[in-house]
Amino acid sequence: MAYNSLESIVAYCKEHHASFYEALLADDMEERDVTAEDSLSRMTALWHTMQESAASYDSSLQSASGLSGGQGAKMDAYMKQGESYCGPFINIVMKAALEMAESNACMRRIVAAPTAGSCGVMPAVLIPAAEKWKIPDKKMVEALYVAAGIGQVAAERAYIAGASGGCQAEIGTASAMAAGALVYLRDGSPEQICHAVAISLKNLLGLVCDPVAGLVEVPCVKRNVMGAVNALTSADMALAGIESFIPADQVIDAMKEVGDKMDVSLKETGAGGLAFTKTARDFEKEFRAAHQ
Amino acid sequence: MNLFDILGPVMVGPSSSHTAGAVRIGLAARKLLGEEPKEAVITLSGSFSSTGIGHGTDKALVAGLLGMEPDDMRIPKSFEEAQKCGLSFRFVHETVKDFHPNTAILDVTAESGRRTLVQASSLGGGRIMINYLDGVEINVTGERPVLVIHNIDKPGYVSLVTSVMAANSVNIATMTLHRSKRGGTAVMVIETDQNIPADAAAHLKSVDGILKVTCLNL
């Protein structure tokens, strides 16, 4: 991989008069020794799979644990009732995030982005945006390169797994990926893409991975909503010209440092945080007993 | 690392380690058996054991044994599929000492009576490690084809096997040799760059002194 920093992607863009997407396409072609055509067709297939996965949400499904199911449908009903606080577009994004995260919990097919636990974030912002602003597939696929490039730097410099760096690494990275993609879709500059990454990740620093009974459901499903909405607010700020005081690469490094300092009970071991509450521990006892 | 390690895999949820990784472990065991599995005893350890039900780890392992890939929509229904295919299975929960928290041991038997014992771990992100095959430590990722030969410990077998590989234009990536004791049973674990052709494996099976041939092709 050519880039281990967002800074080097921006430098490539300047040097080659390239877009953020083009910088990453070039990287993929070199890394996997493939043609532009091969790379694009693979990414396009992924975009279609994301869309299919979103379209096949089944509101009647419940997860094996009983903890997830039907929340997307509740959001849908609420939206249709009247004027919500967030407004129609954000409500659609929230519903999409709930649906995808629930699908994951219910053993449906999803695209890990970057992980299964955070699979709800990217499609939740990208699919509604594509629909609302009639963005052609080609542009959406380019945005996926931007997102993947951001995630790759996070994986290289820090972590993308909750077990390694807490939820700030999973939902945090997914949110930063989505924020960068959203800025790209509005033709934001590479610098603005980086500010969106920095802002979105900063907001989630320190977030722990504390899944109830060790399952990817509580609080994971609703955190996907938060990751998606955080991406929208960060993208809007970046596009408004609002800048992050700390550069994106340093924010990523801070995420790593915080993850390293995080106690292991807060990194997907079910031993701390929400997983350690009375309700969670009672549920876990019952759940284990029922399945012995 | 590449961009498609970040976006993807396409998988059936909920967990790349407890679901997708488990499917890959089941698949690896099926390939190592080399035949349609008829019976399986699956031992789950660690986190696989305790959170496995909620993650569908049990369904995922059976799905892999049936030949399903990690994104197969039938995974949640794999137990029913197993009934249809005549695969009988049972689960044992145990703690396997000193191993990765997501470990499974699959004791699989085919109709012909051929039997394979596979111990593997799910490392995260869908990646796996096949730790033991038939009691021999092999530690392969399953990302490359693997050939495991059990033979009597006498001169000439390593040369024979590598010549067959050469004759079939199969390049050897890694190779380790073990033996139970001098003059006992020897084991060769060979990772290759190309799949091992069926007739090459069949030829090796027929050689006097070669006791067992196991292939994992991609």
Q: Is the CB of A77 inside 8 Å of chain B's CB atoms?
A: no
Measured between alpha carbons, how far is B3 from B26 in angstroms, rounded to an integer?
Answer: 27
Confidence of residue A292 (pLDDT cuts 50, 70, 90): low
pLDDT at B100: 75
Whether the pLDDT of residue A1 is over 70: the answer is no
Strand partners, B110: B37
Q: Which helix (DSSP H) or strand (DSSP E) does residue B52 occupy?
A: helix B52-55
Angle at B176 between CA B175 and CA B182, to 5 degrees: 140
Instruction: Domain B146-216: give its CATH architecture.
Output: 2-Layer Sandwich (3.30)
Test B54 with A217 for CB contact under 8 angstroms.
yes
- pLDDT tens column, B191-213: 999 999 999 999 999 999 999 99
Residue-level pLDDT at B86? 95
Question: What is the average pLDDT value for chain B, to the nearest integer?
Answer: 92
- Asked if B3 lies within 8 A of A115 by C-beta distance, the reply is no
Q: Which of B17, B19, B44, B51 to mutate to test the interface with A (most CBs of A within 10 A)?
A: B51
Least CB-CB distance to B16: which of A116, A148, A152?
A116
Query: Which residues of chain A does B1 touch, with a Cβ-Cβ cutoff of 8 Å?
Result: 1, 152, 155-156
CATH of domain A6-290: 1.10.4100
Beta carbons of B14 and A213 less than 8 Å apart:
no
d(CA A211, nearest CA chain B) in Å: 11
Selecting from B51, B73, B125 the residue whose C-beta is nearest the C-beta of A213 gives B51
Chain B positions in Cβ-Cβ contact with residue A42 (cut-off 8 Å):
4
User: In this predicted model, what pLDDT tens digit does every residue of A142-182 receive, in sequence order?
Assistant: 999 999 999 999 999 999 989 889 999 999 999 999 999 99
pLDDT at A130 > cutoff 60: yes
More confident residue, B45 or A116: A116
Query: What would the CATH number be for the domain defined by B7-140?
Result: 3.30.1330.90
A43: chain B residues, CB-CB within 8 Å: 3, 7
* B2–A114 CB contact, under 8 Å: no
Predicted pLDDT at A102: 96
- At A197-207, the pLDDT tens digits run 999 999 999 99
- Mean pLDDT value across residues A94-116: 95
pLDDT score of B50: 74
B145 prior amide bond cis, ω within 30: no
B7: which chain A residues are within 8 Å (Cβ-Cβ)? 43, 46, 111-114, 122, 144, 147-148, 151
Residue ranges per domain, chain B? 7-140, 146-216
Confidence of residue B95 (pLDDT cuts 50, 70, 90): confident
Q: So what's the ipTM on this one?
A: 0.95
Task: For chains A and B, count residue pairs whose Cβ atoms are closer than 8 Å.
Answer: 134
Chain B residues touching residue A217 (CB < 8 angstroms): 14, 54
Is a pLDDT exceeding 60 seen at residue A229? Answer: yes
Q: Are A204 and A198 in contact (CB under 8 A)?
A: no
User: Does residue B181 register a pLDDT over 80?
Assistant: no
Interface of A with B in 187-246 (CB under 8 A): 213-217
Alpha-helical (H) ranges within chain A are 6-16, 20-32, 36-55, 71-81, 88-105, 121-132, 137-157, 162-165, 167-185, 190-203, 220-239, 248-261, 278-290
Q: What is the pLDDT of residues B99-139, one digit of tens each?
A: 777 899 999 999 999 999 999 998 877 889 999 998 888 89
Instruction: Place A289 in a pLDDT band, splitting at 50, 70 and 90.
Output: confident
User: With helix as H, strand as E and coil as C, how does B155-185 read?
Assistant: CCHHHHHHHHHHHCCCCEEEEEEEECCCCCE
pLDDT of residue B184: 82
Q: pLDDT, tens digit, for every residue of A31-79? A: 989 999 999 999 999 999 999 999 999 999 999 899 999 999 999 999 9
